[in-house]
Structure 1
Amino acid sequence: MFLCNNIQVSSHSGPSSLHARLLSPSSPVTPDPTIPLQIAAMLNALVSWPTTPLTDSLVRAAIKRIGLPTSFVAIEEAAGVQPLLQWSTYDDIDHERTHFDRTTVLASSYIFRKALIRKHYLSRGIQAYLKKRPDSILASACPSTFEVEISFADELDEMWTDELWELGYKLDSCTSWWILKPGMADRGMGIRIFHTKEELQQIFESFEDSDSENEEAENDGQDVTAVVISQLRHFVIQDYINTPLLLDPSETTDREKSTEKLIGRKFHLRAYCVAAGALQLYLYNRVLALFSSIPYEALSINTSGDHLDLRAHLTNTSLQTEHGENNVRLLTELEGCHILSGEGGNIFTLSSIEKLLSQMSEVLSETFKASLQNPVHFQPLPNAFELFGVDFLVSHDLASATDPFQVKILEINVEPAIELTGPRLTWILEELFISIAEVCVRPFFQPPSDGKEPNWKVGEMRHNLLKCLDESVQGPAMQ
């Protein structure tokens, strides 16, 4: 049972203390979610994105677009007002009110969603899900993953004979490459590629001295991606996908470009998905392709990881800000480009794009189902919604028995860095936030007059949102 103490607490206390209080035994005080909301003359909207002005402006424009009478209020003015829309950064949301005022308060973030956004929790949840459902698409869409909890580099010696025995066995064969990612970092921080035990040891040793490394890098004008190992502790090690689909983004602006001048570059897909209530899941059909800044270089067992140029392999836009939006394309813009991976020579077609969109929808559906199996770290609420940025890599495997193009889920991000999309494609963000307002905000504060939910089936597209999942969650968060 998800029970609550009826006590007075600060409305802006941290999520950890809130979690403890919400799990304390007492009598449930959650309002009956079946009671219809009586709309006040004016909707109060708390919009606060202090570090991301673009998001702030998009949210305000979307709220105005749906036409509900709205008064924008500051944080200090929001206490006690209702009805209240909290469309703000996670830290500025009053999560206490989100939990208790289920019928009058709508929030743009779930309170607990670590099962999705922490790489080690996500991997753990998917592996547990696959033990019960080995035929799930996640079996092929999630790279082989190992978890590492480490504070100092010298701890690695004992791990090779215990929790990392299987990884050590694979590294001894020297036939594959692996990618290291901090479980709680973002924007490419701490990501490294290696293929031997010695290289992984050197990586962790370099992290121990990251303060001096950062200072030297800043003095040299280099990108700073080192992390402090003792502060992060949790890492994941994933099988590096060495068969990426390669295209040349310059071909989208110069269709007459000679094929001899095309250069294959790696990219990943940034898909935006919206979770609403408890629980519907939607995939925004305008997917971005984020390219690396330099040509792709295939890795071999003879390649040294010591001086590897990560720019050919990492496609994080935040690590390549000097290239602006030149490396950002819509997935649909890539239709007609020459495929430069595999045997090459073929054309990337609209049919392939549609299949990738279908795969992403199915992978997202299964991923959220897996996270629902961990109710402590993912608790959907009926009066909350959230925008996630999901990263996929497209593998081009000619040996595949089904389709040569297969999406691999990499990670799920909250409050994604949409400002890195660039001015050219800002219009897709404008339409995304309007769609969120129409699908998540309007129905809560202006429900249908007949009281019936719209008949929106899984697989159906509305407002440029493809419905991936429609679950009726009955569990701790709903008690």
Structure 2
Amino acid sequence: MKPVTPVYAYVQVASPWLDEHLRVFIRHHAPDAIFVEEIDEIPSSCMSFPGPVVFQFCNGQLLTKNFALLNRTRGLINAYPNSDALARKDHLGAVVDYWTAKRPESILGDHIPQTVRLTLDYSEYVDEALMAADDLTLLSSLEKNDEMAPKEREWWILKPALVDCGAGIRIFSTVEELAGHLELAEYEDDENEESYGEESESQSEPAELEKNGHEISLSIPGLDSLDGLVLTTKPSALNNLSKIRAKKPEYVFREGGRIPSAQMRSFVAQRYIVSIPPIEGRKWHVRAYVLAIGRLQVHVFDEMLALLAGEDYQPPWEYPNLKSSLTNTALQDEEDVERRQSMRAFSDLPENLLPNRQWKKSVFDQICQISGELFRAAAHTMADKFVTLDRCFELFAVDFLVDTDGTAWLLEVNETPAFYTQGVSGPMALRLMESVICVAMEHIGLAHVGEARNAVIRKRMVEVLDETAGLGRSNITEILEEGC
């Protein structure tokens, strides 16, 4: 009788309330799975290839240590070694530029707002930074805007390349406005370099900003990325270890909303989409969940969220505060999110919001096409910053804005999305995770997708890309822990 390969599972995700649900979903496919609280609990006698099947669903703080386990076992872990090509806004802009330069017919060219990558230091040098950008479109636009009334201008939105949760985002239409958003040189930190990155009392709470009498709370990003993961193809590389995905630092925004350019220098400026169909007077965006697995299959979950801004929408020339312009729920109190239903099922949005009564199907179809093309582009143009391995999978939250013409515009890609229990978000997260586990178990040969229940669960994931045969064979042979 053929011996049964043991299955070990380690589950400790960024949203702890999901842990027990994930264990139930895993048991459905692997009833005899052994769940461990620590990776070290797996017997050392099993830790030799081919070894057991080890399925890991970890939070960002644990991925570094647990990644190296893939060298000695079969299984999956819930992150790629590096996905900066998607998650970093400046790299994402570069991926689109590289891809569409040779493929002008690509859907990415018409569904991503024009993006200009910027390196900004001091407010005094904004002109030089605009001239040094690889695209002079932004400089030309801002110069033309000087001669126009605010309502007639082309507006732009400034985003730090490395910061999440809506922090540091500003809207501008002239060079002077852009300069006004940057921290002046007098605020530069002159302390010893050894103290850089240490947490101070001022970093323990988000900065409270005020504009036109409105109080704004900018959340500081709290999600950890892979820390200290190193890839190597031969032993000689051990002498030159470096971090592939470093932990994102926390940034403190000065009083008045000035951006501390002493800490951040990589930005993108995107055309601000003004014409949007508000819901109950509020701006909103669509959050789609995209699963990438192996090298490289991409799926889009067939349910999506609509995330609404905290206050009624005002066009940028009326100088609204950020809570009316930004739809990120991190800028809202949890009580307000629930009270004002800032998270809603996309399928429940009004049918008559746009003239085309089939607009929701059209938006979903666009999102599927954009997502497949985007991940394909990242894998081919920035293989060093989107490292896809057969033993990895990763779930992304991809945000889109829908304009009054029904066009879906890609805004950003988020790693390790957070999930909430309130409203429609909690039940949707459970259905999503059940389908993620089904696809993951199928990838390692443990799912029974022919069963009626599994077929329904699996069908929620719409495959939009299978680039496995289109990518060159990976030459990565070993993954090392930090400090090795």
Per the normalisation by structure 2, the TM-score is: 0.74
1:296 Cα deviation from its structure 2 partner: 1.5
Do the aligned partners of 2:290 and 2:395 also contact (CA within 8 Å) in 1? yes
Amino acid across the alignment from 2:330: S
Do the aligned partners of 1:292 and 1:312 also contact (CA within 8 Å) in 2? yes
Deviations 1:240-299 (A, max 9, x none): 011122222xxxxxxxxxxxxxxx321000000111111111100111001112221123
Do the aligned partners of 2:216 and 2:331 also contact (CA within 8 Å) in 1? no
1:146 aligns with 2:153: no
1:475 Cα deviation from its structure 2 partner: 3.5
Partner of 1:465: 461
SS in 1 for 2:369: helix
Partner of 2:337: 324
1:367 Cα deviation from its structure 2 partner: 0.4
Partner of 2:148: none
1:100 Cα deviation from its structure 2 partner: 2.5
- 1:6-405 to 2 correspondence within 5 Å? 39-41=4-6, 43-49=7-13, 52-78=15-41, 80=44, 81=47, 82-93=52-63, 94=65, 96-97=67-68, 100-101=71-72, 104-163=74-133, 165-174=136-145, 175-205=153-183, 217=209, 222-224=216-218, 226=253, 228-248=260-280, 264-300=281-317, 303=318, 305=319, 308-321=320-333, 322-325=335-338, 326-339=341-354, 346=355, 349=357, 351-373=358-380, 374-396=382-404, 404-405=405-406
1:228 Cα deviation from its structure 2 partner: 3.2
Distance 1:216 1:358, change over 3 A: closer
Distance 1:64 1:133, change over 3 A: same
Aligned equivalents of 1:393, 1:72: Cα separation in 2:
40
Alignment RMSD: 3.0
Distance 1:38 1:383, change over 3 A: farther
Do the aligned partners of 2:216 and 2:322 also contact (CA within 8 Å) in 1? no
Partner of 2:408: 407
Aligned equivalents of 2:399, 2:378: Cα separation in 1:
17
Do the aligned partners of 1:275 and 1:281 also contact (CA within 8 Å) in 2? yes
Distance 1:191 1:78, change over 3 A: farther
Do the aligned partners of 2:86 and 2:378 also contact (CA within 8 Å) in 1? yes
Deviations 1:338-395 (A, max 9, x none): 45xxxxxx5x63x211111110000001101110121111111111111100000001
SS in 2 for 1:187: coil
Amino acid across the alignment from 1:125: V
Deviations 1:48-93 (A, max 9, x none): 23x5322434433322343431222123525655321111113312
**Runs (4+) off by over 6 Å:** 210-213
Distance 1:217 1:78, change over 3 A: farther
Aligned equivalents of 1:185, 1:353: Cα separation in 2:
30
Partner of 2:472: 474
SS in 2 for 1:231: coil
Q: Which moved more, 1:159-168 or 1:274-283?
A: 159-168
Aligned equivalents of 1:133, 1:65: Cα separation in 2:
44
Aligned equivalents of 2:186, 2:55: Cα separation in 1:
44
Aligned equivalents of 2:29, 2:184: Cα separation in 1:
51
Distance 1:292 1:207, change over 3 A: farther
Partner of 1:444: 444
Listed as ranges, the gaps of 5+ residues in structure 1 are 1-36, 249-263, 340-345, 397-403, 455-459
Aligned equivalents of 1:284, 1:96: Cα separation in 2:
26
1:425 aligns with 2:446: no
Q: Which one scores higher on RCO, CA 8 angstroms, separation ≥ 6?
A: 2
Do the aligned partners of 2:25 and 2:434 also contact (CA within 8 Å) in 1? yes
SS in 2 for 1:383: coil
Listed as ranges, the gaps of 5+ residues in structure 2 are 146-152, 189-201, 220-252, 254-258, 451-455, 478-484
Do the aligned partners of 1:153 and 1:208 also contact (CA within 8 Å) in 2? no
Q: Which moved more, 1:229-238 or 1:124-133?
A: 229-238
Partner of 1:32: none
SS in 2 for 1:47: strand
Aligned equivalents of 2:260, 2:25: Cα separation in 1:
39
